[in-house]
Amino acid sequence: MKTIKDLDVWDKKVILRCDLNVSIKDGKISSDERIIASLETIKYLINSNCKLIIMSHLGKVKTEEDKKNNSLKVVYERLKELLPDINIYFCPETRGKVLEDYAQKLQNGEILLMENTRFEDLDNKKESNNDLQLAKYWAGLGEVFIDDAFGMTHRRHASNNGIKKFLPSGVGFLIAKELEMLDSLMNPEKPFVVIMGGAKVEDKSLLIESIIKRTDYLLLGGGIASTFLAANHNVGKSLVSKEYISEAKKLLTIYKERIILPIDVIVKNNEDIHIKNITELNDDDIIYDIGPHTIKEYEQYINKAKTIFMNGTAGLYEDKNFEQGTKSILAFCSKSTAKVILGGGDALASADHFNIKDFYHLSTGGGATLNYISTGKLACMEED
Ligand code: 3PG
């Protein structure tokens, strides 16, 4: 894998693929972590006297209407604030004369941010289906291609996998750093503790099955814990993935010493909220968080760990009644002397929510991080 340092970028017109897929609420960026994470490569290229064309996707674009809510213009505004000394332009088109003119007029040390690559999905999903005509066209706008969109590395789209077929290419500092950090989880210093939560097991079954073999303790929360608990307990009306319960039962038999489940939980029953031992749930209870005894128990495991990977949250942390599990785990992890890596959109959003961010590494990838840890591979990086 070539990196940006292996390529001659001096004075060149460079196409840089970033993952600027930030979450936006009411037209405002709610977390600019991904923009910040892209700055090192952007600055390096500007300092290398490049003319820089940045491309990124934002959300999903399936209808004309989706274009309004998924314009990169809001990212452009933030980029200008973050790089006040650089001339930055925004091209509202993803193809055609306007784009070509912008690219043509770009001067050394200037940046052009092109509109959302997924606008091209309205034309037969050309971007997402890795249409090589489109990739070739985009490649024609520059001389070198740098891929730094780590969050996209599990996908082969025209703007990442496609363009690199037509230009000298390498990865930027963010991808290189993410891979180095995540590689350390493949051969972790022990004890290795994985904390997993989140709503659905299906999305993470591959990760669970691969990581359970490498971890010393897998601490569960959220809907994932409810599904595992449902193998041996009444979990009332809690969110469970019914199809996964028998698989969970099997894993609990094989790995009974490794899979650690809540011993108490916070449940809601109509409007009442109670702390209950896991053996005491009735048919109308719904689990929304782990309980205080579980938090204490999980703290012991976290304190013993030398490496920790956290993915997903312990409960419905956005609601104050159910925030304690996630908040406490983040706090324990941030105080721990272990190498702690947080991965996945929900874990990162919860760290942001509680402003607890003192970790060894916060991975900018959601699906990409999970894919890499589960399979050791990333689709975009694989040879054809
Ligand atoms: C992400 O947010 O995980 C990446 O930006 C990829 O986005 P996608 O899941 O919409 O392809």
Give tens-digit pLDDT for 304-327.
Answer: 999 999 999 999 999 999 999 999
Block residue for tokens 């390529």: 7
Q: Whose CA is nearest to atom 11 of ligand 1?
A: 152
Q: How many residues does the chain have?
A: 384
Query: How far apart are the C-alpha atoms of 379 and 161, rounded to whole Å?
Result: 9
- Among 133, 82, 139, smallest CA distance to 111 is for 82
CA distance 37 to 62: 27
Residue 150: partners with Cβ closer than 8 Å, 6 or more residues away: 19, 174, 175, 178, 363, 364, 365, 368
* Ligand 1 contacts CB of residue 152 (under 6 A): yes
Kindly indicate the confidence band of residue 202, based on its pLDDT and cuts at 50, 70 and 90: confident
Beta strands in 101-211 (DSSP E): 111-114, 144-147, 169-171, 192-196
Classified as helix, coil or strand, 91 is strand
With a 6 A CB cut-off, is 157 part of the ligand 1 pocket? no
Give the residue-averaged pLDDT of 350-361.
93
- Cα 369 from Cα 277, distance rounded (Å): 34
Kind and range of the H or E run holding 260: strand 259-260
Whether ligand 1 lies within 6 angstroms of the CB of 134 is answered as: no
pLDDT digits (tens, 9 = 90+) for 104-127: 999 999 999 999 999 999 999 999
Q: Dihedral of the CA atoms 333, 334, 340, 343 (nearest 10)?
A: 90
C-alpha 172 – ligand 1 centre gap (Å): 18
Give me ligand 1 centre to Cα 152, in Å: 6
Residue 19 beta carbon below 6 angstroms from any ligand 1 atom: yes
Mean pLDDT of 34-52: 97
Establish whether residue 367 lines the binding site of ligand 1, counting it when its CB lies within 6 angstroms of any ligand atom. yes
User: pLDDT tier at 375 (50, 70, 90 boundaries)?
Assistant: confident
Residue 338 C-alpha from the chain's centroid:
21
Probe target for ligand 1 pocket from 23, 116, 121, 152, with the most ligand atoms within 8 Å of CB: 152
The residue whose CA has the least distance to atom 3 of ligand 1 is 366
* Whole-structure pTM value: 0.87
H, E, C per residue of 190-238? CCEEEEECCCCCHHHHHHHHHHCCCCCEEEECHHHHHHHHCCCCCCCCC
What number of other Cβ atoms are within 10 A of residue 352's Cβ?
A: 15
Question: Which residues lie closer than 8 Å to 250 by C-beta, 6 or more apart?
Answer: none
The predicted pLDDT at position 205 comes to 86
Protein residue closest via CA to atom 4 of ligand 1: 151
Domains belonging to the chain, first-starting first, are 4-174 (3.40.50.1260), 181-374 (3.40.50.1260)
- 11 C-alpha to ligand 1 centroid (Å): 31
pLDDT for position 384: 75
CA distance 335 to 356: 10
